[in-house]
Amino acid sequence: MTLQSLLNNVLPKNGDFEIFHLQSNPCEIVPIITPKSKITGSKENPDSRTVKTQHFIALSCKKKFVYALEIFVYITVQNDTDKKYQKIQPPAERLIFISKADTNGYSDVRFSTKDVTRVILEYILKIDPNYYLLRVKPLKRKYKKEDKKNFIIGKDKIQNNLKKLSKKALDNTCHILDQDIYFLNISFAGKFITKICLFTRPADQYLFPGSSSNRGKHILNGMQLMKWWLHIIDNLVEEKFDRSNKLKACLKIPGEDVLRVGKHFVGCRYRNWKSGDIFSDDLNSLAAFCIPLFPDDPKSRFLHQLVEENRILDTNLRTFWFELQERQEFKLSVLVSVIGVEGYTVETSSYSPIQGEDVIVTSSLKQFHFLKNYISAEEYDTEEGAIESYFNVSKYLSSNLNMKLLKLVGSEKVLARKQNSKVNLLERGSVVTILTPRKKHKQ
């Protein structure tokens, strides 16, 4: 099932919706959980390889971008050639880190952001992990000596670089070499663990700068946001994960005791939600070897701080969570939480997105950020930003890549929600009501 068909099921008909699905080229990175061997020098985790891919999905309504979601997918495989360590190697793993969701409030048609987010995650779960391993940019490239002669280097004379360029244009072998070095010879095991991780912290804006100035933007507070995500993930756990097999679903609210956290599970479809995290069951384990390092994540920032303070080898998970709640970004009196799921999916993930049809895979990380910035670096204090970003992305796609945004027809079964920005303003305390005492005007 394509992304379009999944989204059509949750969007109203005739909303003039379009989807922009941008994907970075998969690249090999250092392990996201620091291996013990890196610090202790032991050979416990010999040769696992991690491949990172970023998805950026933006929805437009009536030629304005109105919603965006940023997700990272990490695929970890073990090097099968290393038979000696086979027994202690953990199974292959797919980790989906939900980084940011945001809206800007300029949609002319009200839709359920929650449903849109849920089906995008369903789509990501359907993707075959081997799809990410087809053309990976390796961490280190093994060049032959003669290949290096053809590299275009800034330090080199202009004439030499021009000669190399003309050789490249005439001689196809150089081009073939470029393709080959983006290929890692690894494959994914049939049965694998899927993890989903996210950190919920409300903010006025994440991906649409300046959008908080729009009074029509609906911003959930900490508690609402945690429940919003819990509802989305709970549905995924119930419908997409194998409940009989090693399934873990956890919610951690730093600073809140187990009993109080447990109260949030009332109404969840999955009956076995636990207070805690999926990173380790043993609070005495060293945090450095359990907590994954994600981009722009407070847990990762705290781990880096522990390294700077030279406490990384003394801080266990108990201390880590305790001290984390004292950090500024956790202390701003808003409720923040960490949600995690770990288990096997019921359906086989066998879908491969098709370039130009339901995904645009950029040729470089530079191009990925360039295109993403058309949306995430625009100013959204007025509606102009939403129109401009739509115009710029569409223009780039048609003139540079001969591609288009994907049209969504929606479904007759989904009714457009009522536009009710007054409720929104009341919720944010921005309008004067009879319940609010009015200040006397000075004479």
Residue 60 C-beta: closest distance to ligand ACO, Å: 15
- Which of 137, 121, 110, 24 has the alpha carbon at shortest distance from 69? 121
Tell how far CA 442 is from the center of its chain.
52
Considering only residues 10, 225, 236, 375, which one is a binding residue for ligand ACO as defined by CB under 6 A? Answer: 225
3-class secondary structure, 286: strand
Residues touching ligand ACO, count (CB under 6 A) = 22
Nearer to ligand ACO, 345 or 421 (CB): 421
Q: Using an 8 Å Cβ cutoff, are 23 and 369 in contact?
A: no
Cβ 423 to ligand ACO shortest distance, Å: 4
Task: Please state the closest distance from residue 389 (CB atom) to ligand ACO, in A.
Answer: 16
Type of residue at 176: I
* Residue in 60, 97, 118 with CA at minimum distance from that of residue 291: 97
Tell me whether residue 297 is one of the annotated catalytic residues.
Answer: yes
194 lies in the site for ligand ACO, by CB under 6 A:
no
- Taking the complex as a whole, the smallest distance from the CB of residue 300 to ligand ACO amounts, in Å, to 14
Which of the residues 234, 277, 297, 358 is marked catalytic? 297
One of 46, 327, 421, 428 touching ligand ACO (CB under 6 A): 421
Q: Could you give the CA distance from residue 361 to residue 363 in angstroms, rounded to a whole number? A: 7
CB neighbour list of residue 23: distance below 8 Å, 6 or more residues apart: 53, 54, 55, 56, 353, 359, 360, 361, 362, 368
Residue 423 within binding range of ligand ACO, rule CB under 6 A = yes
What is the separation of C-alpha 197 from the centre of its chain, rounded to a whole number of angstroms?
9
Q: The tokens 């999905």 sit on which residue?
A: 57
Residue 224 or 319 having the CB closest to ligand ACO: 224
Name the helix (H) or strand (E) containing 199.
strand 193-200
Give, as ranges, the residues between 96 and 115 that touch ligand ACO (CB under 6 A): 98, 100-103, 112-114
DSSP bridge pairs for 28: 51
User: What mask of x and - would describe binding to ligand ACO in positions 152 to 191, judged by CB under 6 A?
Assistant: ----------------------------------------
Q: Does 220 bind ligand ACO (CB under 6 A)?
A: yes
Element of type H or E holding 93: strand 93-103
Only one residue has tokens 């999916």, namely 345
CA 121 to chain centre: 10
424 binds ligand ACO (CB under 6 A): yes
**Contact pattern for ligand ACO over residues 121 through 150, marking x by CB under 6 A:** ------------------------------
218 contacts ligand ACO (rule: CB under 6 A):
yes
Active site residues: 297
- The residue ranges that bind ligand ACO (CB under 6 A) are 98, 100-103, 112-114, 198, 200-203, 206, 218-220, 225, 420-421, 423-424
